[in-house]
Structure 1
Amino acid sequence: MKYPKIPLAQTVIQLCKAKGIKHIVISPGSRNAPLTIGFTNNPFFICYSIVDERCAAFFALGIAQQLQEPTAVVCTSGSALLNYYPAVAEAFYSDVPLVVLSADRPKHLIGVGDGQTINQKNVFENHILYSANLKLDLNEKDEVEEELPIFKNMENKIEALLGLKKGIQDYNEAEINKAINTAYSQNGPVHINIPFDEPLYDMVDVLSVNPKTIPIEKKSLEIESSVLKDCINNWNAASKKMVLVGVSSPNQIEQQWLDVLAKDDSVIVFTETTSNLHHEAFFPSIDKIIAPLNDEDFKTLQPEILLTFGGLIVSKKIKAFLRKHKPKQHWHIDLNKANDTFFSLNQWIKTTPNDFFSKFLPEVELSKSDYNRVWQSVKETRAVNHADYLKSVTFSDLKAFEIILNNIPNHTVLQLGNSSTVRYAQLFDLNKTLEVFCNRGTSGIDGSTSTAVGCAVSNPKQTTLISGDLSFIYDSNALWNNFIPNNFRIIVINNRGGGIFRILPGHKNTENFDTYFETNHNLTAEHLCNMYGFEYESVSDAADLKDRLNTFYTASHKPKLLEIFTPKHLNDEVLLDYFKAMG
């Protein structure tokens, strides 16, 4: 087997292997050549070459999201590293373990006008769990001369050099171990900055270093007995308890605990599309339920205890409701962090939801209350109004989503774009066999397609991405990728602009709005599909959409994209009338 000659590169690669980081996403470059040589010549690693670093990082994020284990991205020095930032921020807020390996110039070449050089040390400072800034190997003289004293004889100098060399190696090993262990234990991004001096391409047949592997410290799941006792007592004393679930991976909670929550008359469970939790007694489609409520209704709905778990919440309406009508207590369950989203957080329960419920629910009492019954009645009314409205509504974004979501194959993966896409999906009760994902950490449109591609590569189930037109075009380099499986499907809702801005307050249908907010365009995905080898189809009415979806998911020799053109000047009216009809 061939190895890079540089000991530091050998150290990084060996520790990645020892800690089970198997998927390596590499963007071509020269300064990162020692890493590229090492990863690509080792059969343990699965390597991907993605030219665009922004796409590469989101692609890696999609892999890590599915495998729930660290995935590495490797880039050269300079601005290449900065292109990782959007995905690093998403990983930071979405709790996705991403390991950034950036090659760098030696210290003596930074700040002197050398090419492709920036200040890479701690560059992700505000959105990273740990930054490891490694030291150059000792055999690069320019880096170490200032650290050595003047010696009277060569023997003393050699001894000092050996000691310094060991010190540098020990430091680098400790930093790499700490960074990767943090990615595992805290589920988030870490950055390892790695200086290399030339020559960069030399290879050897035998490793020159054998780095030490430091085990990952396991976090305790134990809850303090006093905390558990207080939670049980407060829960039993309350007659109105609300459970609100944000972004969660599939199968995180045992069904028996969901069943217990569903049986309690004093509990209502609100789930978002991204929560991947389902029960016939729960309340999905939050906005559909609460949008028509008046202030008196909200006071009736106001919980005494709010229990949350999972990631960030999509629904603006429930955030506004719970910020105005605050619960007396808000508990959040998470091992690593607790956001005070509703400005009422008073209990951070540092464990996993499943572990908490296994200790908590067997000890609580089922309370007598009409809280659940009242809101089940509201849910039933909304369901009838929802169905009636969609029977007569004209073709639009809303109608398109109804048809799309009713036709996604069972037991497949659904990736949702941001802005309008995820919010439309929130209005429907999704097929419970689907696994649903969306980049809700920063809620940006910049990497949805790349993330979906990474997901499709790493998950054997078929993946469908639903995206708005601006989001898809913005991330179109995601298709510049040789790894996309033939069963990957993209559905682009093209309303020729940023449709969400037509729903928000503003002066619509003016030149200023059209240009600077909605961003009018006449672009389509057809030429991109021709260039990147996708089968392309387009529709602009309900009948054609239903017809095309009949064959859209059948086996093919290429991935497929379906572009749906909707009437931009009607979409916002249809949606606003929908919320009126729910009451």
Structure 2
Amino acid sequence: MGEETGRLNWLWARHLIAAARAGGVQDAVLSPGSRSSPLALACERHPRLTTHVIVDERSAAFFALGLARRSGRPVLVVATSGSAPAHWHPAVVEAEAAGIPLLLMSADRPPELHHCGANQTTEQYGILAPHVRASLDLGAPAPEALEGAAFRVALAVDRTLWPQPGPVHLNVPFREPLLPSPAELGESASTERAHVRPAMRSRPQIVIPRDRIEAMAARLQGRRGLIVCGPMPPDERFAAAVSALAARLECPVLADPLSGLRYGGHDRTFVLGHYDLFLRGRRWAHAARPEWVLRFGAAPVSVALARYLRMHREAEHWLVVEAGDWPDPEHCAGQVVHASPAWLCEALAASVRDPVAKAWTSGFLAQECRVAEWLEEHAGALPLEWEVLRRLPALLDDTSVYCGNALVVRDVDAVLGGGGSRLQLFGQRGVSGIDGNLSLAAGLSAAGEEGVVALVGDLAVLHDLTGLGLLGGRAVATVVFSNGGGGIFGLLPQAELPEYERLWRTPQPWSLEQAAQLFRIPYHRVASGDEAAKAILAWRSAGGPVLIDVQIDAERSLAARRSCWRWAEAAE
């Protein structure tokens, strides 16, 4: 009986993993454990799966998040029973909010071992709700349920991608013995074919009727308008389509750094990236009254842009959403359009006949140039973080840049206005946490051959030291802005309280150099933009990982920011 159970578990696991692979999964991230042995071995022996073994389940989930974010494909994550799947939770919350496809398989004890004090046993079904698109319990392996279980895995993979991408949780109980004998397992590959119907799945492009397109085009053409693009998955078709629409309308595109529009080979004539500074000039921003705003993607990073949109909420705001929540925290949208963004841009470009007024667009273009020139002229007086960032486009091409949260992504928003290099900017703006940053950057690296630069703060490194350990052997340059704790809180009213240092800034007495030594990662301590640039160039030549520790004088940096903002706010 025992050997039969082991054989059935092995057959069951091979079918489940084959079904996941047939659905499009190419990578599996495994954390070691006993109860998950059948699943882990089936992944490792599948000839067309790439496996990544990561001890810490929290780090493993963020690694998978980076891999899925960069590739656009669902990534399988496997863990054992008990508290292990609970460690996925922070990454799952981000995947749900950002629409990143993850297929999460947790091994479990069988039903008869629940609620009786059995070791390493807890209620796992629903443990990740409500942050997953679906939760399924496959039940303990049974010969008559084999085809149905494989079918549900195929369904789960599909649910990670459509109608709204995101994480899906599968709970998979196993009885002991978990596997047949080592002699019976041998060295054979896991080549089991899953009999899944339907074998092929297609996902629709969401379109709207032609008369709606014509009516929408009529409301846009010849009137003062803006296209606003927030964070979006990388999509070359959308970049080309929205650029063509902007050219047809001759209207500005305010492009978030994570929109995929600021850099690349598409037409960037009307793509603007310095609006976080020029929209701080309230007099100019108030006078620049749009008649319509067409919005794509998630909510932008820029606080100045959010304020500008609220200031002009009387304009017609069109929000384009394929599925799911409406990304409109300002509550300005008067029209919600459910359509595929690239298709909608292409359809509108084919229907628009009259551009907007040239004086309208030229005003925005002039503001963009004014900010770029001012940043160049005042290079020596800028925050050191900005000095480092401004050098990146000239140093990097065909490189993925991960932008950490808090101050980092806001600095990127203000300074990296755009250019012709093929920088790809990634972030973690679903719920904007600072956990898992380095693990996610390692996942980005695993998804492509080009190097990755991770821009993070010192507390983000502390949050994810296990992620620092994942960088060994990977071409990842971790650029740490060491400002002595939570520097972003220095911009808030709490900074005036006597408890500020203890409760908000929280400076830490640990050494980044010692952390790098622990994981045998080369370390460079720098104190200027030029020194940081030299360290990045050396990394590009040498390859592998490196930690570049940029020493920030927090008070000086804060004073320099405020000086920049005062200049921007005084603009006419």
Which residue in the other structure is 2:453 paired with?
A: 464
Shift of 1:174: 3.7
| Aligned pair partner of 1:192 in 165, 170, 186 | 170
Which residue in the other structure is 1:359 paired with?
A: 347
Deviations 1:155-204 (A, max 9, x none): xxxxxxxxxx63x4454234322211111323211111111111113265
Which residue in the other structure is 1:572 paired with?
A: 558
Give, in whole Å, the separation in 1 of the partners of 2:60 and 2:176.
Answer: 26
Which residue in the other structure is 1:202 paired with?
A: 180
> 5+ residue gaps in structure 1?
139-164
Which residue in the other structure is 2:430 paired with?
A: 441
Which residue in the other structure is 1:421 paired with?
A: 408
Shift of 1:385: 2.5
Aligned positions, number: 545
| Aligned pair partner of 1:497 in 485, 492, 495 | 485
Deviations 1:532-557 (A, max 9, x none): 1211111123453344344232124x
Task: Report the identity percentage.
Answer: 24
Which residue in the other structure is 2:271 paired with?
A: 282
Which residue in the other structure is 2:327 paired with?
A: 339
Q: Please show how residues 134-153 of structure 1 align to structure 2 within 5 Å.
A: 134-138=138-142
Shift of 1:507: 3.1
Counterparts in 2 of 1:287 and 1:459: CA distance versus 1, 3 Å: same
Which residue in the other structure is 1:17 paired with?
A: 21
- Alignment of 1:269 with 2:257, yes or no, is no
Shift of 1:531: 1.7
Which residue in the other structure is 1:548 paired with?
A: 535
Which residue in the other structure is 2:156 paired with?
A: 179
Shift of 1:209: 8.6
Q: Do 1:418 and 1:467's aligned partners in 2 also have CA atoms closer than 8 Å?
A: yes
Shift of 1:263: 5.2
Q: Please show how residues 98-109 of structure 1 align to structure 2 within 5 Å.
A: 98-109=102-113
Which residue in the other structure is 2:265 paired with?
A: none
Q: Do 1:273 and 1:425's aligned partners in 2 also have CA atoms closer than 8 Å?
A: yes
SS class of match (2:228): strand
Q: Do 1:398 and 1:575's aligned partners in 2 also have CA atoms closer than 8 Å?
A: no
Shift of 1:320: 2.5
Q: Do 1:9 and 1:34's aligned partners in 2 also have CA atoms closer than 8 Å?
A: yes
Q: Please show how residues 233-248 of structure 1 align to structure 2 within 5 Å.
A: 233-236=218-221, 239-248=223-232
Q: Do 2:98 and 2:430's aligned partners in 1 also have CA atoms closer than 8 Å?
A: yes
- Alignment of 1:397 with 2:378, yes or no, is no
Which has the larger displacement, 16-25 or 522-531?
Answer: 522-531
Which has the larger displacement, 336-345 or 27-36?
Answer: 336-345
| Aligned pair partner of 1:212 in 196, 210, 213 | 196
Shift of 1:437: 0.4
Q: Which amino acid aligns with 1:173?
A: A
SS class of match (1:340): coil
Which residue in the other structure is 2:296 paired with?
A: 309
Q: Please show how residues 530-541 of structure 1 align to structure 2 within 5 Å.
A: 530-541=517-528
Which residue in the other structure is 1:348 paired with?
A: 336
Counterparts in 2 of 1:485 and 1:435: CA distance versus 1, 3 Å: farther
SS class of match (1:345): coil
Which has the larger displacement, 285-294 or 340-349?
Answer: 340-349
Counterparts in 2 of 1:408 and 1:92: CA distance versus 1, 3 Å: farther
SS class of match (2:252): strand
Q: Please show how residues 502-541 of structure 1 align to structure 2 within 5 Å.
A: 502-508=490-496, 511-541=498-528
Which has the larger displacement, 280-289 or 100-109?
Answer: 280-289
Which residue in the other structure is 2:469 paired with?
A: 480
Which residue in the other structure is 2:3 paired with?
A: none
- Alignment of 1:30 with 2:7, yes or no, is no
Which residue in the other structure is 1:145 paired with?
A: none
Which residue in the other structure is 1:292 paired with?
A: 281
SS class of match (1:357): helix
SS class of match (2:238): coil
Give, in whole Å, the separation in 2 of the partners of 1:435 and 1:457.
Answer: 15
Shift of 1:135: 1.3
Q: Do 1:453 and 1:484's aligned partners in 2 also have CA atoms closer than 8 Å?
A: no
Bigger radius of gyration among the two: 1
- Alignment of 1:322 with 2:309, yes or no, is yes
| Aligned pair partner of 2:67 in 63, 70, 80 | 63
Which has the larger displacement, 188-197 or 517-526?
Answer: 517-526
Q: Do 2:135 and 2:168's aligned partners in 1 also have CA atoms closer than 8 Å?
A: yes
Q: Which amino acid aligns with 1:580?
A: R
| Aligned pair partner of 1:46 in 27, 44, 50 | 50
Shift of 1:529: 1.4
Q: Which amino acid aligns with 1:44?
A: R
Which residue in the other structure is 2:549 paired with?
A: 563
